[in-house]
C-alpha cells in the first residue's frame, strides 16, 4: 500500500430496519488513501465487511460527482462533512488525519424515516414538488425563444435557485429540521421567471402547505442550511418564499 | 377569517407573526427605555413623565397601550414557542454528535437560546408589571406627590426602593443581559422572517442588530445600577412640585 495511506476509526450508525433500534458501531479501517472520496472509503469498508461475512453498511449514492443529490451523510456532526459547497461524494479523505475518529450518521428528521443504516426515505421532498413544483403549459411546438423577455439578473438568480439538487442536507443540518431552504429554492426558481409567475400564488401556498403537512420544523433563521448546502443555495430564497406567501394570501 | 387561520397555522405565517410582533416589541422597548432614563434625572422629571403619560388622550393612552402590549407579547410568545415545539416533533431523535457548520451560518448561542431567553423574558415581564404597575409586594406605602397641581403616585420612590436592594439589581442585570442575547439574533432575524432582508443590506441589518442589542442592554442596565450606587431611598411623604 502507498506510504501515505491512513487508518481511520469509524463510528457508524447501524439500524437493521425502519422500526429497529439503532446504535453507533465502531470499525477500524486501514489503507485509506487521501485521494479517495468519502464514499470510496466506505466502499473499501464494505468490501472488507463482505469478505468477513458481515452485512455491509447501507449507503445511498448515484452519480458520485456532486450533481444528483443522492448521497448524503452527517459526518462528525456536519451534513456532507467538513468541506463547504460539496456533497458527501466530493469529500476527500485528505480532510481527515491518520487515526482520526469519524462519526457517520444518517440525515435525521421525522419526515425522513431511516430505511436501513445510513439510508433514509426522502420521498417527502417529491411530495412537496408534486404540490406545485412545475409550470403548466399547453403542449405543442416549442415557443420562440425570445418571445418572452427575461431580465438577466432574474435569470441568474433563478438559475442559482434551480441548482438545488434536493439532497436534503438543509433539513439534516437545520436545528429545527426545517425544509425551508429546499422549498424556497424550488418556489424561487419559478417565481423569478415570467413563465412561472402565472401560477406563483397558488404554487407558494400549495408547496408551503405540503411542506408543513410532511411534518418538517419551522425556520429560526440560524442559516446552517446555507452553510452545508453543496450548491450554496442562499437563505434569501427563504425570504423570497415569505414575500411570495404574503403576496399570495393578502 | 379562514384565510387568517390558515396563515397563522402555517410555518411561514407564524414566522411573519413572530417577526412582526418582535419588531414592534423592539419599538416598544426603545420608547420604554427613553422614558425610564428620566429616572436618572430625579424624582421631578420621572414623576412628571409618568403623570403626563397617564393623562394622554384624556387618560385613555395607557390602557390602550397596555391592551396592545398584551396582544403583542401573547402573539409573539405563542408564535415563538410554536417554533420550539415544532422542532421537537420534527426531529425526535437527535444526532449522537453535532457540530456547527460555520461558514455563512449565523447560528450562535444567541440563536439557539431564543426559546430560553424568551421564556425568561415572559416570566420577567409578568413580575415586572406586577411590581411597578401593580405595586404588588411594595416595600412600603407612599404618599402621593403633586404634579402640576394634581396628586399622583410617587412611582419614583417605588422604583428607587426596589433598586436599592442588591438581589433585585442582580436579577435585573441578568435579565437585561438575556434580553440583549435575545435581540442579538432577534433583530436581524425579524427582517429575514418578514422577507425584508436582501444581500446588499444584510450586513447592515445584522450590524445594526448587534448595536441595537448592546444599546438596549446597556441602557436598561444603567438604571438599576445607577440607583443602587448613587440614589438613596426617598424619605416618606415628600411633596414635589406642589
Ligand atoms: C422585550 C421583549 C421581546 C422582544 C423585544 C423580542 C424580540 C424578538 C425578535 C425581534 C425576534 C425575532 C423574530 C423572528 O425571528 O422573526 C424574536 C424571536 C423570538 N422570541 Fe422574542 N422578544 C421579546 C420577548 C419574548 C418573549 C416574552 C418570548 C416568550 C416565549 C419570546 C420568544 C421568542 C422566540 C422563541 C423567538 C425565536 C423564534 C424562532 O426560533 O424562530 N420573545 N424576539
pLDDT at A140 (0 to 100): 81
Confirm or reject: Cβ of B18 under 6 Å from ligand 1: yes
pLDDT single digits (tens) B29-38: 999 999 999 9
pLDDT at A144 (0 to 100): 85
Confirm or reject: Cβ of B72 under 6 Å from ligand 1: no
pLDDT at B166 (0 to 100): 97
Number of domains in chain B: 1
Q: Are residues A86 and A11 in the same domain?
A: yes
Q: Are residues A49 and A67 in the same domain?
A: yes
Q: Are residues A40 and A155 in the same domain?
A: no
Neighbours of B120 (CB within 10 A): 17
Question: Do the domain assignments include residue A1?
Answer: no
Q: Which domain holds residue B43?
A: 2-90+110-239
3-state SS class at B162? helix
Residue nearest to atom 3 of ligand 1 (CA): B25
**CATH number, domain containing residue A196:** 1.10.1060.10
Q: Are residues A36 and A132 in the same domain?
A: no
Q: Are residues A110 and A131 in the same domain?
A: no
Q: A-B interface: how many C-beta pairs under 8 angstroms? A: 142
Question: Do the domain assignments include residue A95?
Answer: yes
Number of domains in chain A: 2
pLDDT at B239 (0 to 100): 42
Last residue of a domain, one of A66, A95, A115: A115
Question: Do the domain assignments include residue B145?
Answer: yes
pLDDT single digits (tens) A222-243: 999 999 999 999 999 999 999 9
pLDDT at A94 (0 to 100): 96
Measured distance CA(B157)–CA(B160) in Å, rounded: 5
A186 in Cβ contact with A128 (< 8 Å) = yes
Contact of A113 with chain B, judged by CB distance below 8 Å, is answered with no
Q: Which domain holds residue A214?
A: 123-249
Q: Are residues A128 and A238 in the same domain?
A: yes
Is B111 close to A220, i.e. CB distance below 8 A?
A: yes
- Report whether pLDDT(B8) > 70: yes
Last residue of a domain, one of A88, A115, A142: A115
**CATH number, domain containing residue B202:** 1.20.1300.10
Question: Do the domain assignments include residue A221?
Answer: yes
- A66 pLDDT tier (thresholds 50, 70, 90): very high
Q: Are residues A137 and A106 in the same domain?
A: no
Last residue of a domain, one of A115, A146, A164: A115
DSSP letter, residue A177: -
pLDDT single digits (tens) B181-224: 999 999 999 999 999 998 899 999 999 999 999 999 999 999 99
B195 in Cβ contact with B205 (< 8 Å) = no
Q: Which of A103, A218, A223, A250 to probe by mutation at the B interface, max B CB count within 10 Å?
A: A218
pLDDT single digits (tens) A28-40: 999 999 999 999 9
Contact of B231 with chain A, judged by CB distance below 8 Å, is answered with no
Q: Are residues A21 and A99 in the same domain?
A: yes
To which H or E segment does residue B132 belong? helix B114-132
Q: If you average pLDDT over residues B230-238, what whole number do you get?
A: 76
Residue B124 or residue B134, greater confidence: B124
Confirm or reject: Cβ of B209 under 6 Å from ligand 1: no
Question: Do the domain assignments include residue B105?
Answer: no
pLDDT at B1 (0 to 100): 46
Q: What cell was used for A165? A: 439538487
Q: B73: CA distance to ligand 1 center in Å? A: 9
Q: Over chain A, what is the mean pLDDT?
A: 96
Question: Do the domain assignments include residue B103?
Answer: no
pLDDT single digits (tens) B145-187: 999 889 999 999 999 999 999 999 999 999 999 999 999 999 9
pLDDT single digits (tens) A97-114: 999 999 999 999 999 999
- A147 pLDDT tier (thresholds 50, 70, 90): confident
pLDDT single digits (tens) B74-118: 999 999 999 999 999 999 999 999 999 999 999 999 999 999 999
Question: Do the domain assignments include residue B101?
Answer: no
Confirm or reject: Cβ of B21 under 6 Å from ligand 1: no
Question: Do the domain assignments include residue B99?
Answer: no
Contact of A123 with chain B, judged by CB distance below 8 Å, is answered with no
Contact of A220 with chain B, judged by CB distance below 8 Å, is answered with yes
Task: Check if the interface score ipTM surpasses 0.90.
Answer: yes
Q: Are residues A129 and A110 in the same domain?
A: no
Q: If you average pLDDT over residues A32-55, what whole number do you get?
A: 97
For B126-165, b/e burial (b = at least 16 CB within 10 A) is eeeeebeeeeeeeeeebeebebeeeebbbbbbbbbbbbbe
- A1 pLDDT tier (thresholds 50, 70, 90): low
Q: What cell was used for B4? A: 387568517
**CATH number, domain containing residue A41:** 3.10.20.30
Q: Are residues A107 and A172 in the same domain?
A: no
To which H or E segment does residue A119 belong? strand A119-120
Residues of B in contact with A176 (CB under 8 A): 83, 86-87, 90-91
Amino acid at each position: 500500500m502507498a506510504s501515505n495511506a491512513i487508518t481511520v476509526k469509524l463510528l457508524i450508525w447501524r439500524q437493521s430496519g425502519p422500526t429497529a433500534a439503532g446504535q453507533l458501531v465502531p470499525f477500524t479501517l486501514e489503507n485509506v488513501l487521501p485521494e479517495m472520496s468519502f464514499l470510496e472509503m466506505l466502499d473499501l469498508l464494505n468490501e472488507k465487511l463482505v469478505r468477513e461475512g458481515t452485512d455491509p453498511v447501507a449507503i445511498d449514492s448515484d452519480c458520485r460527482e456532486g450533481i444528483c443529490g443522492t448521497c448524503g451523510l452527517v459526518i462528525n456532526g456536519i451534513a456532507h462533512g467538513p468541506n463547504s459547497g460539496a456533497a458527501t461524494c466530493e469529500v476527500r479523505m485528505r480532510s481527515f488525519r491518520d487515526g482520526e475518529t469519524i462519526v457517520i450518521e444518517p440525515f435525521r428528521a421525522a419526515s425522513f424515516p431511516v430505511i436501513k443504516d445510513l439510508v433514509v426515505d426522502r420521498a417527502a421532498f417529491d411530495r412537496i414538488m408534486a404540490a406545485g413544483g412545475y409550470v403548466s403549459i399547453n403542449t405543442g411546438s416549442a415557443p420562440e425563444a425570445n418571445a418572452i423577455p427575461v431580465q438577466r439578473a432574474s435569470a441568474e438568480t433563478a438559475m442559482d435557485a434551480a441548482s438545488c439538487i434536493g439532497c436534503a442536507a438543509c433539513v439534516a443540518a437545520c436545528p429545527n429540521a426545517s425544509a425551508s431552504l429546499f422549498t424556497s429554492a424550488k418556489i424561487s426558481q419559478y417565481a423569478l421567471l415570467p413563465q412561472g409567475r402565472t401560477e406563483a400564488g397558488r404554487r407558494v401556498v400549495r408547496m408551503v402547505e405540503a411542506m408543513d403537512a410532511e411534518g418538517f420544523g419551522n425556520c429560526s433563521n440560524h442559516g446552517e442550511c446555507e452553510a452545508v448546502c453543496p450548491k450554496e443555495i442562499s437563505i434569501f430564497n427563504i425570504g423570497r418564499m415569505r414575500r411570495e406567501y404574503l403576496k399570495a394570501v393578502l | 377569517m379562514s384565510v387568517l387561520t390558515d396563515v397563522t397555522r402555517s410555518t411561514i405565517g407564524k414566522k411573519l407573526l413572530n417577526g412582526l410582533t418582535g419588531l414592534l416589541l423592539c419599538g416598544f422597548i426603545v420608547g420604554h427605555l427613553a422614558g425610564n432614563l428620566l429616572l436618572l434625572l430625579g424624582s421631578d422629571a420621572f414623576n412628571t413623565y409618568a403623570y403626563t403619560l397617564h393623562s394622554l388622550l384624556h387618560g385613555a393612552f395607557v390602557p390602550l397601550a397596555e391592551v396592545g402590549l398584551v396582544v403583542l407579547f401573547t402573539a409573539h410568545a405563542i408564535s415563538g414557542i410554536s417554533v420550539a415545539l415544532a422542532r421537537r416533533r420534527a426531529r425526535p431523535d437527535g444526532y449522537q454528535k453535532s457540530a456547527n457548520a460555520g461558514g455563512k451560518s449565523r447560528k450562535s448561542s444567541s440563536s439557539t437560546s431564543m426559546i430560553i431567553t424568551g421564556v425568561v423574558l415572559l416570566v420577567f415581564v409578568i413580575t415586572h408589571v406586577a411590581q411597578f404597575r401593580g405595586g404588588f409586594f411594595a416595600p412600603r406605602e407612599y404618599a402621593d406627590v403633586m404634579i402640576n397641581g394634581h396628586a399622583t403616585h410617587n412611582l419614583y420612590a417605588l422604583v428607587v426602593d426596589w433598586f436599592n436592594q442588591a438581589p433585585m439589581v442582580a436579577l435585573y442585570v441578568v435579565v437585561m443581559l438575556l434580553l440583549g442575547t435575545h435581540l442579538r439574533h432577534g433583530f436581524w432575524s425579524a427582517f429575514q422572517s418578514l422577507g425584508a432582508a436582501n444581500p446588499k443590506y444584510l450586513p447592515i441589518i445584522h450590524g445594526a442588530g448587534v448595536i441595537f442589542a448592546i444599546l438596549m442592554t446597556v441602557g436598561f442596565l444603567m438604571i438599576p445600577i445607577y440607583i443602587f450606587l448613587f440614589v438613596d431611598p426617598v424619605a416618606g411623604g415628600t411633596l414635589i412640585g406642589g
